[in-house]
Structure 1
Amino acid sequence: MRKFLHFLETIDLMRMVVGICILVDGYPLIFFFRETLKLAPGSTVFTAVAFAFGLVLMVPFTFLRRLYRPNMTMLWMGLGFIALCIMYMFTYLGDPGFKDYDKDMIYYAYALIFLFLLINIPNDIARVFIFVVVFFTFVSNLGLIYSLITNPSWAIGQRATITLGDNDDGGNPHVFSRNAFMGIVACAIWLIRSDTNIFLRLFALFAGMVNLAVLVLTQTRSSILALLIAIAFFLAFNVRPPQIRAVVRGIFKPVTLVIVAIGMVAISFFINKYYDVYAVLYGYVLSFMERNLDNIYALFGAKAQGAAYKATLDDSAANRSMSALFFTNVLTGHIHMLILGFGYKYLYLDVPILESLTNMGILGFILFGGVNALCLYHSLGIMRTNPNQLSVFLAYFYMLIMVAAFTGGRPNEISFWIPLALMTRFMGIEHLFPEHLQDRKHIVYAPAVPAASPVS
């Protein structure tokens, strides 16, 4: 009977995590059902209903009867920034043609309701969180792959995304790269846990490779940069000389040599049999490197491919270059405007942390930058101690949010505040997690420093 009740509790926790995934990473599946399966092409109502369904799934049976403590500093700073945005929207508009009051208020409402429901959700979701994320991201990737295969307007070389509406303008590859990044982090956590079942570990390895392939196909610089930063932090905090020596010694064990040989044969067979797939991925990597080198050449005014060709910035890099020029002009001639800012949505800079200052003033910069600074601080602490798998996932996932804060979007977008709400709920409170959720013993690579004992 006890095992059956534990099983029901696990299913209930998984239901809540699926709801969280829909809010944090629901766009890939929403676009698949909406556009690929033609259930509601171009419908924002369908998207709103899908998000509402995710919120319903998050409602626990202990709703309003048991609340859980979030990170209070991050909570008040996040609520303060959203309140400031709403106040500016109705009293200090920077965009004279702004009419999206209802749409923006709906976005803020979703973020606030999501945060409120998270405070009702128990910490025990930590034990099923990675399991759900691995499968959720994998299914989302399958939807994207199916869409690309069945889309006659998509050709090899284009960025992997789902076409929105009935035109060929394409969609948003960043939501698919976020899904792939989350999948890579979740699969990696599953792989390094010493108690992971061998079959689940093999599935995590396969799903991780699919995620990596999708990440390459989306050609998003921010996600790839975030992945490199996450890998660097993982190596810095978790890999020490004793582990390196142990790995080197383990490589020369007979079992390891056999596995490596089998892996090399399998990779060789795959490349020979599916050379086209290999060539496509290789071509994407090469073109991605060339395009970024072109941006570097352009910044220095260099010629990239001979005397007849002058390198130019792509649209995204050019927009950020103009944003830097605008900010420089403000500092030199209108610095007083940064006290209150230029107003709500005055100018789209494509650098959220900078836009929070220019549009929302010093207070907006302190609140938005403060939440991100606290997230980074807690992420580094979590990476050092590996307290539990949910916290570890959020710490490495934040690397993507951190890069995005400097490279794309607006500070008031739901794409920031839904993940930041999740981090506000679970980051910096690891000491409040019960003993059975502490996973330090399951990490293959030892923490850099001894972990503090949990406080109930």
Structure 2
Amino acid sequence: MNNFIRFVQTLNYMRMVVGICIIVDGYPLIFFFRETMKLAPASTTFTAAALAGGLLLMIPFTIFRRLYRPNTTTFWIGISFLLLIIFYMFFFNGVPGFDEYDKDMIYFAYILIFLFLLINIPNDIIPVFIPIVVLFTLVSNLGLIYALITDPTWAIGQRATITLNNGDEGSGNPHVFSRNAFIGIIACAIGLFRPQSNVIFKLLCFFAGAVNLAVLVLTQTRSAIVALILAVSLFMYFNVRPAQIRTAVRSLVKPIPILIMVVGFMGIIYFFQRYYTIYLVLYDYVSGFLAKNLDNVYALLGMKAQGADYQAVLDDSAANRSVSGVFLRNSLSGEHIHKLILGYGYKYTYLDVPIVEAFTNHGIPGLLLFGGINGLVFYDAIRIMRKNPNDLSTFLAYFYLLVFVQLFTNGRPNEISFWFPLSLMIRFVGVEHLFPAYLSNKAPVNKHEEFVVVPTAQSI
């Protein structure tokens, strides 16, 4: 009977994690069902309904009766920034004739509801979080691969994405698929290294990780690749010590790890021998990506492209950020510098550099609040990488590196692509000391009663 109760509880926790995945990383699957399967092409209502379904899956049976303490500092900073931009939207709007109040308020409502539900979700989702993320990202990647194979408008060399709204070739958003691949790689890495993972799950993580890496290359998004390089570098810095190397070597020279490596290596060799064209495609994507980014470097330095006769030029994305830098520089040095105290108004200009846009559109308050919450989360993320307290905290710490890179590369400070992940950070990052001992990576096997904090008005 006890085993059955634990099984039902595990399913319940899995349900909540699936809901979180739909909110934070649901767009790849939503686009697949909406556009590829033609369930509701170009329908924003379908997207809203899918996200609402994720929120419904998150609702615990103890809602309103049991609350869990978030990081109160980042919680109040985040709430303050959201209230600030909502205030700006109604009373200091920088867009003449702005008529998207209802749409933007729906976005903000989703963010606030998501954050509220996270505060109701128990810490006991930690043991099932990584397996669900691995499976969720794998299914999303397989949906993308199917969409590319069946899309007559997609050709090798284009960025991997699902065409939206019956638009032109490559009219989709590759960033949502690169985010899915990035967090999939992080989850697979944690699944491979955690002691409680069995052989089958490690083989699944190995396969899913390879698929995630291939999709990341196919999407050709610089922010995700830079974040992955940063994540690998920080992992090596915090974990590669003589003692860790000896421990890793000892753990690898055992029958099961050797079997996993041999089977995985032979599987990769067989796969590329059987589908050699895929290897050539990946090689062309990598070489093309490197060449394009070298062109941007040459253009910034005013050089010719790889010694050719034509002058290197910035691509559209890099050129937009260059224009954004010029706008900020002119604002700081011009006669209207006083406008930066309160900013130019809600959505006044799209700079594609969120941290700069928070400053130009929302002034010093926007910069302090948006920069403050990201600075605190970054600090906690680095600390968590060093200590590795539990799987969920470690996953979120490395996941945040992508959010951190995107602060300077793409997006807007008011978008849900920032605030859904930041809501997760508010709930789980910086409060791992409040988690029950049995959820820690260094905890004993025995499980005790969960430590629950029911916040008062003063604590929340």
Q: Same fold (TM over 0.5)?
A: yes
For 1:256 and 1:20, how far apart are their aligned partners in 2? 31
Matching residue of 2:342: 340
Matching residue of 2:29: 29
For the structure 1 residues 172 and 260, does the alpha-carbon distance in structure 2 shift closer, same or farther, using more than 3 Å as the test? closer
Residue in structure 1 matching 2:391, options 380, 389, 393 = 389
Matching residue of 2:424: 422
> 1:255 deviation in Å?
9.3
For 1:4 and 1:248, how far apart are their aligned partners in 2? 39
Matching residue of 2:373: 371
- Pairs within 5 Å for 1:57-96: 57-96=57-96
Paired AA for residue 278 in structure 1: Y
Q: Does 1:407 align with 2:406?
A: no
> 1:305 deviation in Å?
3.8
For the structure 1 residues 307 and 277, does the alpha-carbon distance in structure 2 shift closer, same or farther, using more than 3 Å as the test? closer
Q: Does 1:194 align with 2:195?
A: yes
CA contact (8 A) 1:385 1:440 kept: no
Matching residue of 1:49: 49
- Pairs within 5 Å for 1:168-317: 168-169=168-169, 170-245=171-246, 247=248, 266-317=267-318
For 1:249 and 1:425, how far apart are their aligned partners in 2? 36
For 1:264 and 1:410, how far apart are their aligned partners in 2? 41
For 1:114 and 1:365, how far apart are their aligned partners in 2? 24
| SS in structure 1 of the partner of residue 407 of structure 2 | helix
For 1:34 and 1:209, how far apart are their aligned partners in 2? 26
Paired AA for residue 420 in structure 1: L
For the structure 1 residues 35 and 261, does the alpha-carbon distance in structure 2 shift closer, same or farther, using more than 3 Å as the test? closer
For the structure 1 residues 15 and 240, does the alpha-carbon distance in structure 2 shift closer, same or farther, using more than 3 Å as the test? same
Structure 2, gaps ≥5 residues long: 445-450, 454-460
Matching residue of 1:451: none
Paired AA for residue 168 in structure 2: D
1:367-407 per-residue CA deviation (whole Å, 9 max, x = no partner) reads: 10111011101101111111111101100000000001111
CA contact (8 A) 1:431 1:455 kept: no
For 1:231 and 1:204, how far apart are their aligned partners in 2? 17
Q: State TM-score, norm by structure 1.
A: 0.94
Residue in structure 2 matching 1:353, options 328, 333, 355 = 355
CA contact (8 A) 2:134 2:208 kept: yes
1:346-385 per-residue CA deviation (whole Å, 9 max, x = no partner) reads: 1101000011001000001111011101110110111111
For the structure 1 residues 257 and 64, does the alpha-carbon distance in structure 2 shift closer, same or farther, using more than 3 Å as the test? closer
Higher alpha-carbon deviation: 236-245 or 85-94:
236-245
For 2:104 and 2:254, how far apart are their aligned partners in 1? 59
For 1:264 and 1:116, how far apart are their aligned partners in 2? 44
For 1:408 and 1:44, how far apart are their aligned partners in 2? 22
For 1:69 and 1:256, how far apart are their aligned partners in 2? 39
Higher alpha-carbon deviation: 279-288 or 242-251:
242-251
For 1:249 and 1:430, how far apart are their aligned partners in 2? 29
| SS in structure 2 of the partner of residue 79 of structure 1 | helix
Count of aligned pairs: 445
CA RMSD of aligned residues (A): 2.0
Higher alpha-carbon deviation: 175-184 or 256-265:
256-265
| SS in structure 1 of the partner of residue 292 of structure 2 | helix
CA contact (8 A) 1:386 1:440 kept: no
> 1:264 deviation in Å?
5.5
For the structure 1 residues 27 and 331, does the alpha-carbon distance in structure 2 shift closer, same or farther, using more than 3 Å as the test? same
| SS in structure 2 of the partner of residue 406 of structure 1 | coil
| SS in structure 1 of the partner of residue 305 of structure 2 | coil
For the structure 1 residues 261 and 16, does the alpha-carbon distance in structure 2 shift closer, same or farther, using more than 3 Å as the test? closer
Matching residue of 1:98: 98
| SS in structure 2 of the partner of residue 189 of structure 1 | helix
Paired AA for residue 26 in structure 2: G
Percent identity at matched positions?
Answer: 64
For 2:135 and 2:229, how far apart are their aligned partners in 1? 23
Structure 1, gaps ≥5 residues long: 443-453
For 2:176 and 2:152, how far apart are their aligned partners in 1? 21
For 2:256 and 2:366, how far apart are their aligned partners in 1? 57
1:78-114 per-residue CA deviation (whole Å, 9 max, x = no partner) reads: 0100100010011111111322111110000000000
For 1:280 and 1:436, how far apart are their aligned partners in 2? 46
Paired AA for residue 83 in structure 1: L
